């Protein structure tokens, strides 16, 4: 199956031109109430002030120092010193978070192997795996109370790891796409305990941590970064690869700027990561967006820009919060079940309707649907549409 999120989004946009009443809940990009794409003034100002060579020239092969160091400090935040002390770290610039994920899946799996993901997942994971001649296996993301299902994760992880003598896990957290779930720190402690147990059986373990929506956590900047404390317990031989998305954090969707952050306590594992990671970047897309790298690097490395940008992020999170609060209130009134939301661009709505996509379209709602789930991109639905959206969902799920 070819995931068609971008294609469905285009169809929705075309349909909305003909019928402005239509609700387009497909797009994983933050939009203003007016329907205008949400951009950051700090980003625009920085972009407009770039020198020619910071925009038009090729990026340095391994990224600028500002970019590399800035990303590490930004992602780990209050935990950065402890993380930097405990781990070997390397940053490899990629074409967005997708490039980071694609290269990691290709580099760290043998053909025919399977990677482990939750049963609700961003469908391109499956395409990325298939492109790399790799399969997917899933565990149940939720238990019956809609909490993270550590038990099923443990069972599936062990079974797969024992069978193929390798475990490659993708977790998209916090602000999971498509469900909106944020794992608690306690959940992460358990996840890492499972990974450690497997690693101690001399089975290579790779954790690919996709945190595209980190900066839209409802708990704010510091709250989103609590989970990294649990990283400190990672077993020596485990390789963690964080997929960072400049697209989401900076609204630089169309720029294709992201990174792999490799972390491990083992020098050998790090040497492998650097060698193959660097090679793949050059052999797959040669280098990444220079303007994207310049903007992100400058914002990360200049305190006044960083502060201004963090202030704008508060506004972005406030836009999401207002919509989510209204959606939740309306859902409660309408007795529409929703999945637990911890932050990000998406609210998950369970469904038993196999024709849910078409039924919603008939009632004027475009969404991304997957087995058992409707993904509502609250990032692009204005407040004025939410009551109607909830009613249409309630009618069709």
Residues that bind its own copies (CB under 8 A): 2-4, 6-7, 9-10, 29, 36-37, 39, 52-53, 55-61, 95-96, 98-99, 102, 124, 127-128, 130-132, 247, 251-256, 278-280, 282-291
Q: Say if CB 85 and CB 228 are below 8 A apart.
A: no
Shortest CB 7 distance to its own copies, Å? 5
Shortest CB 317 distance to its own copies, Å? 18
Using only C-alpha atoms, the chain has a radius of gyration, in whole angstroms, of 20
Cα separations in angstroms, 121 against 110, 136, 216, 223, 355? 22, 11, 18, 23, 19
Whichever of 5 and 207 has its CB closer to its own copies, that residue is 5
What are the b/e assignments for 250-266, b being 16+ CB within 10 Å? Answer: bbbbebbbbbbbbbbbb
Whichever of 52 and 145 has its CB closer to its own copies, that residue is 52
Q: Say if CB 261 and CB 242 are below 8 A apart.
A: yes
Shortest CB 212 distance to its own copies, Å? 11
Q: 14 Cβ partners below 8 Å, 6+ apart? A: none
Match 């994983």 to its residue by tokens: 28
Whichever of 2 and 18 has its CB closer to its own copies, that residue is 2
Q: How far apart are CA 168 and CA 114, in angstroms?
A: 8
Whichever of 87 and 121 has its CB closer to its own copies, that residue is 121
Give residue 369's Cα distance to chain centre. 18
Whichever of 230 and 280 has its CB closer to its own copies, that residue is 280
226 secondary structure, DSSP code: G
Q: How far apart are CA 349 and CA 38, in angstroms?
A: 25
Whichever of 29 and 232 has its CB closer to its own copies, that residue is 29
Shortest CB 230 distance to its own copies, Å? 29
Whichever of 252 and 296 has its CB closer to its own copies, that residue is 252
The 3-state DSSP class for residue 2 equals: coil
CA angle 49, 51, 55 (to 5 degrees): 100
Shortest CB 379 distance to its own copies, Å? 12
Shortest CB 229 distance to its own copies, Å? 31
Shortest CB 24 distance to its own copies, Å? 13
Handedness of CA 344, 349, 354, 358 (dihedral sign): negative
Whichever of 289 and 338 has its CB closer to its own copies, that residue is 289
Shortest CB 96 distance to its own copies, Å? 6
Shortest CB 301 distance to its own copies, Å? 19
Q: How many CB atoms lie under 10 A from the CB of residue 305?
A: 17
Whichever of 96 and 348 has its CB closer to its own copies, that residue is 96
Q: How far apart are CA 4 and CA 13, in angstroms?
A: 14
Beta strands in the chain (DSSP E): 23-24, 88-94, 114-118, 135-139, 167-172, 205-210, 239-245, 258-264, 346-350, 365-366, 368-370, 373-377
């Amino acid at each position: 199956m070819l995931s068609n999120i971008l294609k469905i989004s285009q169809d929705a946009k075309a349909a909305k031109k003909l019928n402005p009443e239509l609700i387009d809940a497909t797009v994983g990009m933050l939009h203003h109430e007016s329907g205008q794409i949400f951009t950051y003034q700090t980003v625009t100002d920085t972009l407009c002030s770039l020198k020619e060579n910071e925009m038009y020239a090729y990026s340095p092969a391994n990224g600028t120092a500002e970019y590399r160091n800035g990303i590490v400090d930004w992602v780990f935040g209050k935990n950065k010193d402890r993380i930097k002390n405990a781990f070997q770290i390397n940053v490899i610039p990629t074409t967005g978070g997708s490039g980071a994920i694609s290269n990691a899946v290709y580099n760290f799996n043998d053909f025919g192997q399977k990677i482990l993901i939750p049963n609700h997942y961003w469908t391109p994971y499956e395409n990325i795996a298939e492109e790399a001649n790799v399969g997917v296996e899933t565990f149940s993301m939720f238990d019956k109370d809609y909490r993270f299902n550590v038990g099923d994760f443990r069972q599936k992880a062990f079974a797969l790891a024992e069978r193929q003598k390798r475990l490659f896990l993708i977790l998209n957290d916090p602000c999971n796409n498509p469900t909106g779930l944020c794992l608690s720190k306690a959940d992460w402690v358990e996840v890492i305990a499972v990974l450690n147990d497997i690693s101690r059986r001399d089975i290579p373990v790779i954790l690919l941590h996709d945190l595209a929506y980190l900066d839209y956590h409802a708990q704010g900047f510091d709250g989103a970064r609590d989970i990294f404390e649990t990283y400190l317990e990672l077993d020596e031989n485990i390789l963690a690869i964080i997929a960072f998305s400049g697209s989401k954090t900076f609204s630089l969707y169309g720029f294709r700027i992201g990174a792999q952050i490799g972390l491990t306590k083992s020098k050998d594992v790090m040497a492998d990561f650097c060698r193959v990671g660097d090679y793949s970047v050059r052999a797959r897309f040669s280098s990444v967006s220079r303007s994207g790298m310049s903007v992100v690097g400058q914002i990360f490395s200049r305190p006044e820009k960083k502060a201004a940008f963090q202030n704008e992020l508060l506004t972005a999170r406030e836009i999401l919060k207002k919509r989510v609060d209204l959606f939740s209130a309306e859902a409660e009134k309408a007795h529409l079940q929703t999945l637990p939301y911890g932050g990000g661009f998406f609210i998950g709505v369970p469904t038993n309707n196999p024709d849910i996509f078409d039924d919603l379209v008939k009632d004027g709602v475009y969404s991304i649907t997957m087995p058992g789930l409707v993904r509502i991109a609250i990032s692009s639905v204005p407040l004025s549409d939410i009551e109607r959206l909830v009613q249409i969902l309630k009618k069709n799920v």
